[in-house]
Each structure stands twice: as structure tokens, then as C-alpha cells.
Amino acid sequence: MIKPSDNHNKEHLINEVLEAVKDIQIKFQAEDDEEKEWLLQNSPNPEVQELVEEMTVTMLHVLDAIGTLEPVNGITISKQFGFSKGTVSKITKRLVQKNIILPEYLPDNKKEVLFRMTERGQDIYRLHQAMHQQIDLGANRFLQRYTEEELQFLVHALRETAQASWFHSEKDGPSIVSSEGMPYADEASSDNDNENTEAVTINEEMNEIIGMLDMLNSRDLKKAKAVLEDVFFTKYED
């Protein structure tokens, strides 16, 4: 039998994990600027530095995809790396204009375009790869502090999170967040009580996260909170 105190502790841990998720989103946004700064500081020559300054993060990722798979068409880039076809089309046009990649047309199919990197594109690609190697080395060194059990849990939790939808659906049943914002409270709904209905503010993303975390026991929630905080909020040292 689950004690009320156990439920309270679990709710508290879930709320802490949700706060950590918000912080992770903010950290990822900030790291885009940090990566750009690293690329600028380590550019091999002024020409590459100027091009990197003008490139967006998405442009760098599309170039990275082309460098990995070249010669490659836009459809393959879209499927392999999760970019929309429209995004790939716009980005490749900009990269061609800057002479970072070159289009190739097949003799028997003029509609299909393959992309290859130019010499300056290769310089940027190698620079981008070097940056990720530094990040991987720092992350590997950092994660050595954890036991195999903790790492297995982290892999499991992150993979499930990547595959799960965080949007609450009506098919999932009533909302698990009350009008006071407390999870798991019984909702007394009434079709005729418009005032109460308007007072209920449902955060769909939070509902889905809470539902997913509710499947974990208190021990796993503690590990999730500790590992996420350490992995995403500790500054890597060179």
C-alpha cells in the first residue's frame, strides 16, 4: 500500500525534475552561442571566420550532414537528420550562394541535385567536427564519475523521453493538474460551471511529463534529478 507521504515525496521529486527540464532547455539555447564563439576563436583563417560569423546553427548542421554523407541529396538530409524539406532547400541555396557547397546534377535526372562541399566548406566542416570532438571528450571525462547502473538509467530515461510525446491528449483521460496547479488532485468538472472551467489552466507539456515521470519510483526519480543536474549544468573543463 502506498503511503500518502510517499505520494507527496514523489510529487515533490517530479516537480524538481520538471524544473530541471526547463533549465536544460535554457542551457541548450545558451550553448548555441558558446559553440559559435568557439568556432570563431578557433577558425583557421579570416575567411573561414567571416563565413562562420554569418552562418546560423542550422546552416552548420546542414553542412555537417552534407560533409558526412556527400554526395547527398536534400531528401536524404531531411530523412537522416530530421530537417524539414523546406529548411534543407533554403539552407542549401544559401550555402551554394556562399560557395560553401556545390550542386551536382545527374546526367540522367536533371531534377535530382546532389551536394558536395567546396574547399572552404571542408574547412568549416573540419572545424565543426573538431568542436564536437572537444565536447565529446569533456562529456566522456565528466560521465566517468557515474556507475554503470546510473549510466544505464540515464540512457533508458533519455531514450524514453526522446520517443515520448509530451502533449496531453483527451484520450489520456482527465488532466492530472488541478486549477491550483497541484498534480493528482480530483477534478470536479461540470458542463454548466463555466467559471470553474475557465479557472483551470492546463499546461499540456507539463501534464505529459508528469504522467511519464509518474511511472518511475522514488529511487529512480532521485537518480534522474541528480544525473540531469550534473550532466547538463556542470561546466566542462578543457
Which CATH number do you get for residue 51?
1.10.10.10
- Percent of the chain past pLDDT 70, that is, above it, reads 65
Domain encompassing residue 195: 4-38+145-233
Phi, psi for residue 184 in degrees, rounded to 5 = 70, 10
Confidence label for 163 from pLDDT (cuts 50, 70 and 90) = confident
> Is residue 198 domain-shared with residue 155, that is, in the same domain?
yes
Q: Which of 125, 159, 178 is the last residue in one of the domains?
A: 125
Question: Within a domain: residue 98?
Answer: yes
Reply yes or no on whether the pLDDT at 36 is more than 80: yes
CB 207 within 8 A of CB 185: no
Confidence label for 161 from pLDDT (cuts 50, 70 and 90) = confident
State how beta strands 72-73 and 101-106 pair: unpaired
Q: Which of 125, 160, 179 is the last residue in one of the domains?
A: 125
Of 34 and 181, the one with more pLDDT: 34
Nine cell digits for residue 235: 561546466
pLDDT computed for residue 165 by the predictor: 75
Nine cell digits for residue 152: 544505464
> Is residue 115 domain-shared with residue 49, that is, in the same domain?
yes
pLDDT computed for residue 11 by the predictor: 85
Of 83 and 151, the one with more pLDDT: 151
Query: Three-state SS for 101?
Result: strand
CA gap 42, 53 in Å, rounded: 12
Reply yes or no on whether the pLDDT at 168 is more than 90: no
Reply yes or no on whether the pLDDT at 160 is more than 50: yes
Reply yes or no on whether the pLDDT at 201 is more than 70: no
Task: Identify the residue whose cell numbers are 508528469.
Answer: 210
Question: Within a domain: residue 238?
Answer: no
CA gap 211, 166 in Å, rounded: 9
Q: What is the mean pLDDT of residues 95-114?
A: 90
> Is residue 151 domain-shared with residue 185, that is, in the same domain?
yes
Question: Within a domain: residue 137?
Answer: no
pLDDT computed for residue 170 by the predictor: 57
Predicted TM-score of the model (pTM): 0.63
Of 238 and 125, the one with more pLDDT: 125
Of 209 and 16, the one with more pLDDT: 16
Query: What is the number of other CB atoms lying within 10 angstroms of the CB of residue 107?
Result: 5
Nearest CA-CA partner of 17 in 227, 165, 182: 227
Q: Which of 11-20, 35-44, 56-65, 130-139 has the lowest mean pLDDT?
A: 11-20
Strand ranges for the chain from DSSP E: 72-73, 101-106, 109-117
CB 17 within 8 A of CB 229: no
> Is residue 34 domain-shared with residue 58, that is, in the same domain?
no
Of 202 and 138, the one with more pLDDT: 138
Of 168 and 78, the one with more pLDDT: 78
Cis peptide before 174 (omega within 30 of 0): no
pLDDT computed for residue 202 by the predictor: 41
Of 162 and 99, the one with more pLDDT: 99
pLDDT computed for residue 8 by the predictor: 74
> Is residue 52 domain-shared with residue 96, that is, in the same domain?
yes
Rounded to the nearest 10 degrees, what angle do helices 4-41 and 57-69 cross at?
A: 80
> Is residue 107 domain-shared with residue 58, that is, in the same domain?
yes
- What's the chain's Rg over C-alpha atoms? 24
> Is residue 106 domain-shared with residue 66, that is, in the same domain?
yes
Tally of domains in the chain: 2
CA gap 102, 118 in Å, rounded: 6
- Percent of the chain past pLDDT 90, that is, above it, reads 39
CA gap 218, 24 in Å, rounded: 21
